[in-house]
Structure 1
Amino acid sequence: MVKTIARPLLTGYLNRLTDDTGIFQHTKFGIPDRSKGYTSDDNARALIAAVLLYKTRKDAESLRLIQIYLSFIHHAQNEDGSFRNFMEYNRVFLETVGSEDCQGRCLWALGFALSEPSVPDNLQNTCRYMINQALPHVNRLSSPRAMAYTVIGLTAMLGEPDGLGYKFPYASKEVADPDFLTRAGIISAVSELAMRLHVQYEGNKGEEWHWFEDSMTYGNAMLPWALLKASHYSNRNEFRETAKESLDFLAAKTFAKEGYFKPAGSHGWLIRGGETALYDEQPIEACEMLLACMEAYHTLGNTHYRNLANACYEWFHGSNSLNQSLIDVESGGCYDGIHAMGLNLNQGSENIVSYCMAHLVMHHE
């Protein structure tokens, strides 16, 4: 098994991209672009990174970031439990409700924050409240990625294996209020969403195409990752089989013969029967593929997936099609990706958050 190279993680840039409202969406090189404002998508991903940081460091700065990002998501939630996404710099939201993927990303972040024992109880209570408000929308989701994000967030709340099965971390609260985030209700929602993903996969795959749709676009790795997560709480072997088959197919399409990660480019993606677009390569794809491969490693016990995850991590550090690091050694920021002319030298929030998540997962195995 390939070992992850130990490197320091500089978090000053993450702090500089964050004001008292939330994390800025875009930058002009290394400076926040206030004209582009904020999104719930980015603040949700930043919340996950901040929770991972706090789990490791238990410091006041990481806790402050958790509070800011969680407060943003709380402000984004409508009375009916749905979430708004795009916010201008003047703190005015630009829509009444965000995309389905936004709903899923928010639930992923809230479920993850709720699952981490080191997060203070008062913040976890906020997470529980918001998740409970959002649950009525879950079964109406139709976007496969929204369903996947939701499954990953909900399964995080179900706890870790304790030798006798999976222990729900809020069992006493469940008994006190049987209508509030019950284990049975969460497992039911997970099973329903996972089955819909599985059925979509069965309806789309072919002899030389093992995928959920007729194209591979963004966030591909979330789909097999969600089914791997769901397989722990279901007796359905087909969830795990579909997850493995689709993840292996995705890996075959996104790793170069030399072994480095090469995601489908955002300028054209990969359409069934066509050629994979070469550019742009985006950091979020490396991060999410890393997370899915680590899940496969733990679930299936095959070190091959751990090695793939490490290759995704090394993509950030120069093991890529450009042979250049995407990490700014001066600021600790992460460049926006690789395009046809070289590195995209902007350093937006999605990218530094993706790198933080990848780094923290691989260095605390």
Structure 2
Amino acid sequence: MTTDFGMFQFAKINQPDVNSGYTLDDNARAMIAIGQHYKLTFEESDLTYIHIYLDFIEYCQQADGKFLNYVDFNKNFTDQNAVDSLEDSNGRAIWALGYIISLGHILPEEILIKAKMVFHKAISGCCNDFDSTRAMAFIIKGLYYYNRHEKHTEVRKYIKVLADKIVQMYRHESSADWKWFESYLTYANSVIPEAILCAYAVTGDFVYRDIAKESFDFLLKNTFSENAIKVISNRSWMLKGEEREDFGEQPIDVAYTIIALRKFHDIFKNPMYVDKMEIAFNWFLGNNHLQQIIYNPCTGGCYDGLEENCVNLNQGAESTISYLMARLMINKHLSNDEDEDDDEYSESNPALSAIKMKKNVLYLNKKKIALKRKNHR
């Protein structure tokens, strides 16, 4: 799915749809996933892809520090950039940059230097201008990861400004039976309480901790049964005071839930969060209402969605990266590695190969590789 320029957006079954072009969203997520994998394995080939995704993110950055999202096959920015809101895309880019910067101690210096340059330019252009709840949450995550690499007063200040804005939204919208930041549950919901928990991890402000837990527990109540997860439908969002629709589930929401569960377990040490991680990951393996596997072990891709009566068999960038991120995250628990606040999990698996392409030819690594941790000094 990846060329020497970036990762294609969509696929037709398991073949990249070159006409769909590229997005900042997908390349930011891909850089996080490859960074997670490199942290564990130190595979040299990962650095090639980190360079590609980082260069793409820089390509999308404009003079004011903000980013455009949509790029066509010919590397031109499309008109869609003027139509869609780009706040969430900008937030994802900052999350990805912050994450890569947090790996600066193991990455080549030129990657760290470029990531920090793009990050600082983006922060100056984004932190004070965005109102999207999820964009602010993604930015907090990026700032949180940057802070793990380098403690910086300005970064801490930005985290507090954004977290306080989200807390104010919570206080305005929540009620006795609706513990949420908005009057609806839509997409990427778990990112918001996770970001507030990250703000607590940096600042030690118990207001952030308590609101993060209260809102996340409310979300879990509305997405988990005793032994299964059913994320919010993308066919119609769950509105406050109304019945939710059951069908139309996307892998990215399951993956984001797993990532957030890991963070909540790191902070609160409640085994319930780990149990739900396993339940959520099993959604990919067939624990869903159709009893259908969503991950394709033959191609390494992940299907684009679970509908009422069928599975969307296209294996695009978003869904494939989502599976990979979930797989990398769950592996730390499965390997009994319980270091507090170390959020990256990894193992070699075919999903990594599914997002790699060399010289515009899809590369699928069919060789079975033993899954084991590598020790590096």
TM-score (norm 1): 0.88
Q: Indicate yes or no: 2:254 matched with 1:270.
A: no
Q: What is the CA–CA distance in structure 2 between the aligned matches of 1:322 and 1:149, rounded to whole Å?
A: 32
In the alignment, what sits opposite 1:150? 139
Amino acid at match of 1:143: S
In the alignment, what sits opposite 2:93? 106
Q: What is the CA–CA distance in structure 2 between the aligned matches of 1:230 and 1:248, rounded to whole Å?
A: 17
| Deviation larger for 301-310 or 121-130 | 301-310
User: After the TM superposition, which parts of structure 1 deviate over 6 Å for at least 4 consecutive aligned residues?
Assistant: none
Q: What is the CA–CA distance in structure 1 between the aligned matches of 2:44 and 2:19, rounded to whole Å?
A: 29
Aligned alpha-carbon RMSD (Å): 1.3
Deviation at 1:60, TM superposition (A): 2.2
In the alignment, what sits opposite 2:173? 204
- Partner SS for 1:119: coil
Question: Among 167, 182, 185, which residue is 2:154 paired with?
Answer: 185
In the alignment, what sits opposite 1:118? 106
Q: What is the CA–CA distance in structure 2 between the aligned matches of 1:200 and 1:348, rounded to whole Å?
A: 34
Q: What is the CA–CA distance in structure 1 between the aligned matches of 2:208 and 2:96, rounded to whole Å?
A: 23
Q: What is the CA–CA distance in structure 2 between the aligned matches of 1:29 and 1:78, rounded to whole Å?
A: 34
- Partner SS for 2:306: strand
In the alignment, what sits opposite 1:283? 251
In the alignment, what sits opposite 1:348? 316
Amino acid at match of 2:201: H
Contact 1:41 1:105 in 2 (8 A): yes
Amino acid at match of 1:276: R
- Partner SS for 1:32: strand
- Partner SS for 2:168: helix
Deviation at 1:63, TM superposition (A): 1.2
- Partner SS for 1:26: strand
In the alignment, what sits opposite 1:64? 48
Aligned residues: 328
- Partner SS for 2:177: coil
Structure 1: which 5+ residue stretches go unaligned?
Answer: 1-16, 160-168, 172-182
Structure 2: which 5+ residue stretches go unaligned?
Answer: 338-377
Deviation at 1:256, TM superposition (A): 2.5
Amino acid at match of 1:152: K
Contact 2:29 2:96 in 1 (8 A): yes
In the alignment, what sits opposite 1:298? 266
In the alignment, what sits opposite 1:251? 220
- Partner SS for 1:36: strand
- Partner SS for 1:27: strand
Deviation at 1:35, TM superposition (A): 1.2
Q: Indicate yes or no: 2:64 matched with 1:80.
A: yes
Q: What is the CA–CA distance in structure 2 between the aligned matches of 1:314 and 1:361, rounded to whole Å?
A: 13
Q: What is the CA–CA distance in structure 2 between the aligned matches of 1:294 and 1:329, rounded to whole Å?
A: 24
Q: Indicate yes or no: 2:287 matched with 1:330.
A: no
Q: Indicate yes or no: 2:17 matched with 1:29.
A: no
Deviation at 1:170, TM superposition (A): 3.6
Contact 2:88 2:134 in 1 (8 A): yes
Q: What is the CA–CA distance in structure 1 between the aligned matches of 2:9 and 2:108, rounded to whole Å?
A: 27
Deviation at 1:235, TM superposition (A): 3.8
Deviation at 1:102, TM superposition (A): 0.8
- Partner SS for 1:158: helix
Contact 2:290 2:309 in 1 (8 A): no
Q: Indicate yes or no: 2:299 matched with 1:317.
A: no
- Partner SS for 1:318: coil
- The aligned runs of 1:155-166 (5 Å cut-off) are 155-159=144-148
- Partner SS for 1:326: coil
Deviation at 1:62, TM superposition (A): 1.2
- Partner SS for 1:265: coil
Q: What is the CA–CA distance in structure 2 between the aligned matches of 1:292 and 1:74, rounded to whole Å?
A: 27
Contact 1:51 1:119 in 2 (8 A): no
In the alignment, what sits opposite 2:345? none
- Partner SS for 2:202: coil
Q: What is the CA–CA distance in structure 2 between the aligned matches of 1:279 and 1:90, rounded to whole Å?
A: 36
The Cα offsets for residues 74-133 of structure 1, whole Å up to 9 and x where unpaired, read as 100011110010011111011567611011000000000000132211101111000110
Q: What is the CA–CA distance in structure 2 between the aligned matches of 1:277 and 1:25, rounded to whole Å?
A: 27
Amino acid at match of 1:121: E
The Cα offsets for residues 172-202 of structure 1, whole Å up to 9 and x where unpaired, read as xxxxxxxxxxx00000000110111111011
Q: What is the CA–CA distance in structure 2 between the aligned matches of 1:332 and 1:120, rounded to whole Å?
A: 28
The Cα offsets for residues 276-323 of structure 1, whole Å up to 9 and x where unpaired, read as 222210000011011111111011111111111221211111112221
Deviation at 1:236, TM superposition (A): 2.2
TM-score (norm 2): 0.85
Deviation at 1:329, TM superposition (A): 2.0
The Cα offsets for residues 245-272 of structure 1, whole Å up to 9 and x where unpaired, read as 1100100111134x21100110002111
